[in-house]
């Protein structure tokens, strides 16, 4: 198969925020006009519906193959947030009168999971939120103790978007099934960064998002195991076998299918490449900048993510200064950037507010190069030195 051409940072900027979103592959961009010309409604029986319908069918098959599941277990949604809302709220609506009314999640989930649980809790569900330690991991003994014949659903993310920590989802899923509970994982950040095989994982539900995998925004996938119950939260047409109404986003679905078909061939090469660059970047930073800690290192974590705590700087000022220098990174979840509040994930890991405000997330992607990493470190050293000297001058002037 022809190697995919990657979309590079053609505006001379260094993009290191791939956990927020990824640039579409060049081969996705190249096919946009073709896909856009297939503008018919996939539900139409006449000629205009045939091409988009075929695209969706092919994308569904490619995504199912990539995930290791049956195509009918793939439900298209609008994104990761919708998939998460769908499972948690839908599950509660189906089961709220049963004896099983307990739910288990963690304190470091994405807001779409966290707020869905807040919602069902306000409606009467009993929700347990597992704490994490300083490395971002949960205590398995506490988890095992919480599981009981009353547990309805466990929802644990596969990998954390801010620190990259990977949770032992396979083991947690086995334990949940032993008490008869269902298991959902938000695998939005894991897809394409760790080998994922749903058939081996045996989860009942899993969430994914196209834009985190070099495809176009606007499509999510909800994996629902054959026979699994799902309440449709959107009333309307019979799309997705009446499980999720609404005319499909064919363009974005086609792009996700395209990348899914390429993934098995390139995933290990890309992940080794990202991990090598990430480890090299961390070593350079620790060597060249004093008083830096890596948050969530030393445990199983994504190969592309680095969470840094840099003493003597403010994360937001650092981010803005790096942006001026042409580098895009993040201080935490993309949805909360711009907000002065420190990251709830870092606070849940036991960092103080002051520490969390000194944090920086760097997330590499498939097109990141050694030259970009070297240049980024150079800029980081320069900006941190400058900000620390301002900080010290301010302190002296107080
Ligand atoms: C772990 C995780 N879950 C869910 C989402 C939400 O996905 P979307 O932006 O597609 O709604 C994100 C996005 O950052 C995420 O990182």
The atom number, within ligand 1, closest to the CA of 210 reads 10
Task: Identify the helix (H) or strand (E) that includes residue 220.
Answer: strand 220-224
| DSSP-assigned letter for residue 210 | G
CATH of span 26-262: 3.40.640.10
Condensed to tens digits (0 to 9), the pLDDT of residues 72-94 reads: 999 999 999 999 999 999 999 99
Active-site annotation holder among 69, 173, 224, 335? 335
Condensed to tens digits (0 to 9), the pLDDT of residues 332-378 reads: 644 445 556 889 999 999 999 999 999 999 999 999 999 999 999 99
Domain definitions of the chain by residue range: 14-22+266-393, 26-262
Task: Identify the helix (H) or strand (E) that includes residue 316.
Answer: helix 315-324
pLDDT value for 395 = 61
Closest among 298, 302, 299, 297 to 271, alpha carbons compared: 302
Tokens for 3, please give them: 């190697």
DSSP conformation letters of 18-52: TTT--PPPHHHHHHHHHHHH--S-TT-SSHHHHHH
pTM to 2 decimals? 0.94
CB count within 10 Å of CB 189 equals 27
Q: Is residue 296 predicted with pLDDT exceeding 50?
A: yes
Query: How confident is the model over 171-194, as a mean pLDDT?
Result: 98
Paired residues of 154 in beta bridges: 104, 183
In this prediction, what percent of the chain has a pLDDT beyond 90? Answer: 89
Query: How confident is the model over 143-165, as a mean pLDDT?
Result: 97
Closest among 85, 102, 109 to 205, alpha carbons compared: 85
Q: What is the average pLDDT score of the chain? A: 93
Tokens for 117, please give them: 């649980």
Q: Structurally, what CATH architecture does the domain formed by 14-22+266-393 represent? A: Alpha-Beta Complex (3.90)
Q: Is residue 65 predicted with pLDDT exceeding 70?
A: yes
Tokens for 219, please give them: 């499509």
Task: Identify the helix (H) or strand (E) that includes residue 102.
Answer: strand 102-106
Ligand 1 pocket, residues with Cβ under 6 angstroms:
79-81, 84, 110, 112, 157, 161, 186, 188-189, 209, 211, 220, 334
| Cα(212) to centroid(ligand 1), Å | 8
173 is a catalytic site residue: no
pLDDT higher for 354 or 392?
354
Which of 21, 88, 112 for mutating ligand 1's site (highest number of atoms within 8 Å of CB)?
112
Beta sheet of 292-295, edge-to-edge order: 292-295, 305-310, 359-363
pLDDT value for 397 = 60
Q: Is residue 36 predicted with pLDDT exceeding 80?
A: yes
Closest among 158, 149, 220, 150 to 184, alpha carbons compared: 158
- C-alpha atoms less than 13 angstroms from C-alpha of 349 in its C-beta half-sphere: 26
């Amino acid at each position: 198969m022809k190697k995919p051409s990657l979309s590079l940072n053609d505006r001379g900027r260094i993009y290191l925020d791939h956990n927020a979103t990824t640039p579409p592959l060049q081969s996705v961009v190249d096919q946009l006009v073709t896909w856009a010309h297939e503008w018919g409604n996939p539900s139409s029986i006449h000629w205009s519906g045939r091409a988009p319908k075929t695209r969706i069918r092919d994308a569904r098959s490619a995504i199912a193959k990539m995930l290791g599941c049956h195509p009918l277990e793939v439900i298209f949604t609008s994104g990761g947030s919708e998939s998460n809302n769908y499972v948690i709220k839908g599950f509660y609506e189906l089961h709220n009168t049963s004896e099983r009314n307990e739910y288990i999640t963690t304190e470091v989930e994405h807001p779409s999971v966290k707020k869905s649980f807040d919602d069902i809790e306000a409606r009467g569900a009993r929700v347990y939120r597992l704490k994490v330690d300083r490395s971002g991991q949960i205590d398995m003994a506490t988890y095992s103790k919480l599981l009981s014949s009353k547990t309805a659903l466990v929802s644990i993310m596969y990998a954390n978007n801010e620190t990259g920590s990977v949770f032992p989802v396979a083991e947690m899923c086995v334990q949940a099934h032993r008490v008869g509970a269902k298991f959902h994982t938000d695998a939005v950040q894991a897809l394409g960064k760790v080998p994922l095989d749903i058939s081996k994982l045996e989860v009942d539900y899993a969430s994914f998002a196209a834009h985190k995998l070099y495809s176009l925004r606007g499509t999510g996938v909800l994996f629902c195991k054959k026979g699994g119950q799902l309440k449709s939260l959107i009333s309307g047409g019979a799309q997705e076998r009446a499980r999720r109404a609404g005319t499909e986003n064919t363009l974005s679905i086609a792009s996700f299918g395209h990348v899914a078909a390429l993934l098995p061939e390139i995933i290990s090469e890309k992940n080794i490449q990202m991990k090598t660059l990430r480890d090299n970047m961390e070593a350079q930073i620790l060597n060249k900048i004093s008083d830096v800690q890596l948050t969530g290192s030393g445990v199983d974590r994504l190969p592309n993510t680095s969470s840094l705590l840099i003493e003597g700087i403010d994360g937001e000022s650092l981010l803005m200064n790096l942006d001026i220098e042409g580098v895009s990174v993040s201080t935490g979840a993309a949805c909360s950037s711009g907000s002065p509040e420190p990251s709830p994930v870092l606070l849940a890991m036991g960092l103080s507010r002051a520490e969390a405000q000194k944090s920086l997330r760097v997330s590499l992607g498939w097109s990141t190069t050694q030259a970009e990493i070297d240049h980024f470190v150079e800029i980081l050293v320069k900006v941190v030195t400058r900000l620390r000297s301002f900080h010290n001058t301010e302190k002296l002037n107080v």
